[in-house]
């Protein structure tokens, strides 16, 4: 019998994966998102959501259908280029089939109408993300995969896009999100907040915080617009509010110009026990220690502006942000070299600390572990000691200036460090990033 050829429909369906090394089920191939508009109504009763998400994208292949990531929620209607499209749900997927096939290179717009009570997503390490109800509202945090609990999207850090938010909530509540607050209106007891995130953003960095907040406006001497939100029911983070402009200034002297036009932070009683580098406006859980503020602001350069394309490269975020904490401490206390030496002494060869290499996490539960934060930062200090201050500082600055707005990889970082230093760093990085043992002799 003749083998049945795959139908044209199968051939041209966009793959329902971004081929991420740790989260292969997330993300979708076949297109690149260019922009999202989220028009969302927060319903206080039951912390429910009504949404209309519009994604504009470019087809990278002929497409008979394409996927978006979406966990839970009820989808009622989908349009492609203004025409109703059919759709079905897979596990954490929405698969859209337009009436007409989309051609390679064409720009298309898809609009999804949906509603429901979004899920709080539990991560492989047991932490909570996604839609998180609070005492007076809700917070939506997305690292690594929570974005799909509140809007359909291409949920991979590989595919950055611009964002607009139109958020409706009861008028006595405040709404925080990414970027510039361009307008705020009230009608019939509903407040509508318009935010624009004009620079590319990975979906894991989008956020919402709705609740009762005290709002703090300001502007730095170099013109960055400041807008912060603090929960009046927790002790006011006065030191963080006061030090924010100075920390931003210091970071610019270290790494280059601040990547965005807006900055600030959100402090809310969330109960997740972590802070997150939500783009332009990091989110804190009820307390804003200065070291954590430095860490989340450092991520605006490393993570937010320069983003790893694959979750397996997350040391590029956390190693850099942790190293920046060391640099901050070194201004007035211990040098980075001393902080590094102390960690080395605390973890002799054979210590389980060394078992998980930053570039080979194996299990997504290790995403936010010591190997990523501490061994990641140690890798950078060891690199500085290997190539010297001048080449090291050039590498770090070039890494930001040459890759801002993009998604990139460890291989690119290694290339850059080799070019800048003129050294072959193959075995250096292999020992620090790939081996389940304590490096020696760097």
27 contacts 49 by C-beta, under 8 angstroms: no
Q: Which is nearer to Zn ion, 23 or 301 (CB)?
A: 301
328 contacts 248 by C-beta, under 8 angstroms: no
Least distance from C-beta 296 to Zn ion, angstroms? 7
Residue closest to Zn ion (Cβ): 321
Q: Which is nearer to Zn ion, 321 or 377 (CB)?
A: 321
Percent composition of the chain: helix, strand, coil (DSSP 3-state, to 5): 30, 30, 35
CA atoms within 13 A on the CB side of 260: 31
User: Cα angle vertex 276, ends 25, 340, to 5°?
Assistant: 100
Q: Which is nearer to Zn ion, 321 or 387 (CB)?
A: 321
Least distance from C-beta 318 to Zn ion, angstroms? 5
Least distance from C-beta 400 to Zn ion, angstroms? 16
Least distance from C-beta 299 to Zn ion, angstroms? 6
C-alpha–C-alpha distance, residues 163 and 433, integer Å: 34
Q: Which is nearer to Zn ion, 313 or 318 (CB)?
A: 318
Helix (H, G, I), strand (E, B) or coil at 389: helix
DSSP 146: G
Q: Which is nearer to Zn ion, 136 or 325 (CB)?
A: 325
Least distance from C-beta 282 to Zn ion, angstroms? 9
Q: Which is nearer to Zn ion, 407 or 421 (CB)?
A: 407
Q: Which is nearer to Zn ion, 175 or 321 (CB)?
A: 321
Q: Is the dihedral of CA 199, 162, 146, 234 positive or negative?
A: positive
Q: Which is nearer to Zn ion, 213 or 315 (CB)?
A: 315
Instruction: At 255, list the tokens.
Output: 């790494």
Least distance from C-beta 264 to Zn ion, angstroms? 18
As to burial, measured by CB atoms within 10 angstroms (0-12 exposed, 13-18 middle, 19+ buried), residue 91 is exposed
Q: Is the dihedral of CA 174, 175, 181, 186 positive or negative?
A: negative
Q: Which is nearer to Zn ion, 318 or 374 (CB)?
A: 318
| Interaction site with Zn ion (CB under 5 A) | 318, 321
Least distance from C-beta 281 to Zn ion, angstroms? 15
Q: Which of 152, 149, 211 is nearest to 177 (CA)?
A: 211
Residue with structure tokens 């600390």?
353
Least distance from C-beta 440 to Zn ion, angstroms? 28
Per DSSP bridges, beta strands 262-263 and 225-230 are parallel
**Distances from the Cα of 75 to the Cα of 87, 175, 232, 257, 293, angstroms:** 9, 24, 36, 42, 38
Least distance from C-beta 278 to Zn ion, angstroms? 11
């Amino acid at each position: 019998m003749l083998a049945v050829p795959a139908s044209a429909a199968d051939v041209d369906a966009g793959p329902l994966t971004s081929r991420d090394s740790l989260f292969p089920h997330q993300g979708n191939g076949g297109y690149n998102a260019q922009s999202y508009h989220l028009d969302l109504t927060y319903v206080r009763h039951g912390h429910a959501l009504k949404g209309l998400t519009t994604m504009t994208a470019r087809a990278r292949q002929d497409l008979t259908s394409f996927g978006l990531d979406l966990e839970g929620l009820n989808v009622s209607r989908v349009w492609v280029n203004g025409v109703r499209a059919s759709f079905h749900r897979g596990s954490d997927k929405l698969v859209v089939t337009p009436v007409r096939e989309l051609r390679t290179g064409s720009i298309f717009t898809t609009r999804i109408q949906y509603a429901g009570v979004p899920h709080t997503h539990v991560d492989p390490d047991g932490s909570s993300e996604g839609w998180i109800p609070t005492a007076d509202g809700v917070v939506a945090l997305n690292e690594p995969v929570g974005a799909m609990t509140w809007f359909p999207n291409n949920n991979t850090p590989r595919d950055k896009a611009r964002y607009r938010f139109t958020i409706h909530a009861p008028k006595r509540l405040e709404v925080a999100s990414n970027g510039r607050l361009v307008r705020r209106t009230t009608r019939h007891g509903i407040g509508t907040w318009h935010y624009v995130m004009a620079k590319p953003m990975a979906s894991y960095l989008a956020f919402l915080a709705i609740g009762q907040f005290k709002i703090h406006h300001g502007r730095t001497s170099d013109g960055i617009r400041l807008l912060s939100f603090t929960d009046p029911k927790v002790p006011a983070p006065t030191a963080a509010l006061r030090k924010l402009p100075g920390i931003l200034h210091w970071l610019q002297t270290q790494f280059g110009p601040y990547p965005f036009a807006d900055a600030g932070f959100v402090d809310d009683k969330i109960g997740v026990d972590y802070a997150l580098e939500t783009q332009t406006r990091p989110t804190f859980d009820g307390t804003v220690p200065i070291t954590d503020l430095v860490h989340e602001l450092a991520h605006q350069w490393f993570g937010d502006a320069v983003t790893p394309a694959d979750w397996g490269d997350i040391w590029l975020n956390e190693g850099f942000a942790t190293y920046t904490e060391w640099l901050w401490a070194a201004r007035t206390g211990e040098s980075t070299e001393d902080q590094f030496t102390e960690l080395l002494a605390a973890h002799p060869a054979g210590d389980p600390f060394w078992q998980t290499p930053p570039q080979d996490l194996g299990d997504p539960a290790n995403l936010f572990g010591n190997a990523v934060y501490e061994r990641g930062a140690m890798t950078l200090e060891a690199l500085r000691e290997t190539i010297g201050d001048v080449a090291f500082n050039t590498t770090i600055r070039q890494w930001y200036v040459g890759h801002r707005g993009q998604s990139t990889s460890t291989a690119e970082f290694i290339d850059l460090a080799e070019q800048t230093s003129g050294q072959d760093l193959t075995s250096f990085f292999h020992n620090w990033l790939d081996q389940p043992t304590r490096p020696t002799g760097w």
